Each structure stands twice: as C-alpha cells, then as structure tokens.
Amino acid sequence: MKKKVILYRDIPAQERQRLDNQFDITFFNGINEENKDAFIAALADAEGLIGTSTNMSSELLSLAPKLKAASTISVGTDLYDLNYLTERSIPLMHTPGVLNETTADTLFTLIMCTARRAVELSTMVREGRWTSNVGEALYGTDVHGKTLGIIGMGRIGYAIAKRGHFGFDMKIQYSNRSRNLDAEKELNATYMDIESLLKTSDFICVMTPLTPQTERLIGAKEFAMMKESAIFINGSRGKVIDEAALVDALSNGAIRAAGLDVFEVEPLPASSPLCKLDNAVLFPHIGSATTETRLKMVTCAVDNLINALNGDISQNCANKKQLNR
C-alpha cells in the first residue's frame, strides 16, 4: 500500500507524476479558509508533507500523528516548527544549494538598483518627469571598488561576495558564526565582528537565517552605526531587521538607501511606510524566482521526500544533526 502524502502546492506535471508513482497523494493548491478543514482531516493519515508558503505550527503538525517526513520547497525552514519535528524524530527536508546563484543574482540586482537609483529614475521617465539632463540631485553612487560587508557568509553570501570581488573589484568583509576560510582564500575576504562591519562597509548585505538569535538582529542601534552613505540590503528574512527602525533610518538620512526582497509581513501592504520612500527598492520575495531554479527546487524537494520516506536523510535534512544525537 502506498504511503499517504499531502501535496499542498501546485507543482509541474512531471514532478507531480513522480509523486503519484510513489505515494497516495492528497492535493491542495495552497491552504486557505475554504479548504483548511479538509486539510486538517487529511493530516490524520498523512505520512508525508510537501509544499511551501504555509505556516506549519506545532499545533497543526500535532494533528498528523502518522507523519514520518516533511519536505519544504525552499531553503528556509522557518515556516516549520523545527524543534517540534525534532522532538517527534521527524526529518524536515529542504532545498539548499540549487538556488544559491540565482538568489545571489537577485541580491546583486538590489545592490545595483539602489546604488544607481534605477527604480526611482525609471519611474521618473515613465511618468513624464524627465524634462532635462539629470543633475547632481539625482546622481547615484558607484558600486565598483567599494566595500561590501556580508552578515552571514553561507552559500548564498559567498555567491554574492564572489560577484562583488570578481565582477566589481569590491573589498569583501564579513561577519559569521564561524570563519569561512574559502572566502578568505579565494575572495581575500576579511573576517570581523558585526559592529566593525557596520561602521566600515559601503554596502551591507544580510543573509543570516531567521533564528531566535537573529530576530531583529539589525535595529536602530545598528543603523546608527552605519555610514550615512551606506546602502543596506536584506535577502534573509524580514524579521531579521526592525522594519520600523529601517524606515526611520531611510527617512532621516541615517543611511543612503535600502534594497529589500523580504519583509516582516508578506505580501507587503501598500500602506507600508516603505512604499512611500524613493530610497527603498522593494522586491516581492523573488530571490529564487526564475523558471529554471524553481523547477530545480521542486525536483529537489520531491527527491528529498522520496528519500526520507524510504529512510534516507543523508542529504538536505535541516535537522539531521539533532536527529542523530
């Protein structure tokens, strides 16, 4: 008898077929008020879960007593209660690696757009306000040769640093839980404490995972440490920064600009003060959103679930270390 699995996001037909070949699939195209009761009912017999963009709290997961594995179509695991899954010896599979380069492209796009005021000036042209040569008041700032500070030198942070070093001759400095010797050797990166990085970087890019330790890691105190000419980039999770403090810093000229792909509340409400700031470039969480990479993520997530439900969590298990203790 096939194991029962809940698929709670629409995926390409070829990957859905792979799941159908292996498991008895119950499908939900996202979880909402209309189908939530049916989803909860299906949890009672589910041995596997696969999907994304739904908060899987311990209360919800407790309704799945037969659950043996979960697979999220993302590298981030913050939508799952990882501690709860670990307590129940349930592996959470995720998709690191396949999105590193694409996400780094997105973050460097934010660097370029903020530095050269690309969105602001494009809007000016579209609205018919380009009536004379652009003057000093609308000048941007150079990227090449500047200092790029990265908070969180993991796979994606390294990919961003690589673009800065080789493509733009930038000086790389970073703060991390541990030293990244590859970055130091290959990119001539300098390891330093976060306070020193904030004070000396021209571009500050946050790429840390969201944990209790990193929530609101960057707030009013940290923005005050930055240069007035600094540009702040966040591609990690919205709750890693104090969004209200960022709005104040941008409004008061404490920093030059910010580029954000993540927010405290997503989708970002149109009423957000960020939407009123010309010096904020706002992307709708598109870090990995290319056709090629999103397909790779789905393929990886399907592979992960098949492997996990067959007892193999050797690759891409977010709580592997905890389960092996």
For 151-177, how does the pLDDT look when each residue is reduced to its tens digit (9 = 90+)?
999 999 999 999 999 999 999 999 999
**Owner of token pair 């104040």:** 248
Amino acid 295: pLDDT: 97
Confidence of residue 267 (pLDDT cuts 50, 70, 90): very high
| 301/317 Cα distance (integer angstroms) | 11
275-281's contacts with Cβ under 8 Å and 24+ in sequence apart are 277/247, 277/250, 277/251, 278/117, 278/120, 279/114, 279/117, 279/120, 279/250, 280/250, 281/110, 281/113, 281/114, 281/118, 281/119, 281/257
Residue 325 has pLDDT above 80, yes or no: no
- Domains along the sequence of the chain with CATH: 3-97+292-323 (3.40.50.720), 100-282 (3.40.50.720)
Q: Which of 87, 195, 266, 292 is catalytic?
A: 266
Mean of the per-residue pLDDT values of the chain: 97
The residue count of the chain comes to 325
Confidence of residue 303 (pLDDT cuts 50, 70, 90): very high
Amino acid 2: pLDDT: 96
Cβ atoms of 156 and 104 closer than 8 Å: yes
CA dihedral 131, 135, 141, 144 (to 10 degrees): 90
Which among 92, 38, 47 is positioned nearest to 66, based on CA atoms? 47
Residue 141 has pLDDT above 90, yes or no: yes
Q: Is 285 a catalytic residue?
A: yes
86-132 pLDDT, tens digit per residue, is 999 999 999 999 999 999 999 999 999 999 999 999 999 999 999 99
**Residue 283 tokens, joined:** 């992307």
76-97 pLDDT, tens digit per residue, is 999 999 999 999 999 999 999 9
Q: Which of 18, 94, 163, 285 is catalytic?
A: 285
| 234/240 Cα distance (integer angstroms) | 9
Which among 65, 77, 71 is positioned nearest to 23, based on CA atoms? 71
**Residue 142 tokens, joined:** 């150079």
Residue 219 has pLDDT above 80, yes or no: yes
Q: pTM, whole model, 2 decimals?
A: 0.91
Cβ atoms of 158 and 102 closer than 8 Å: no
6-37 pLDDT, tens digit per residue, is 999 999 999 999 999 999 999 999 999 999 99
| 91/86 Cα distance (integer angstroms) | 7
Q: Name the residue with higher pLDDT: 70 or 211.
A: 70
| 7/22 Cα distance (integer angstroms) | 13
Q: What is the mean pLDDT of residues 40-50?
A: 98
Residue 324 has pLDDT above 90, yes or no: no
Q: Is 237 a catalytic residue?
A: yes
Residue 214 has pLDDT above 90, yes or no: yes
Q: Is 256 a catalytic residue?
A: no
Cβ atoms of 221 and 243 closer than 8 Å: no
Q: What is the mean pLDDT of residues 251-273?
A: 97
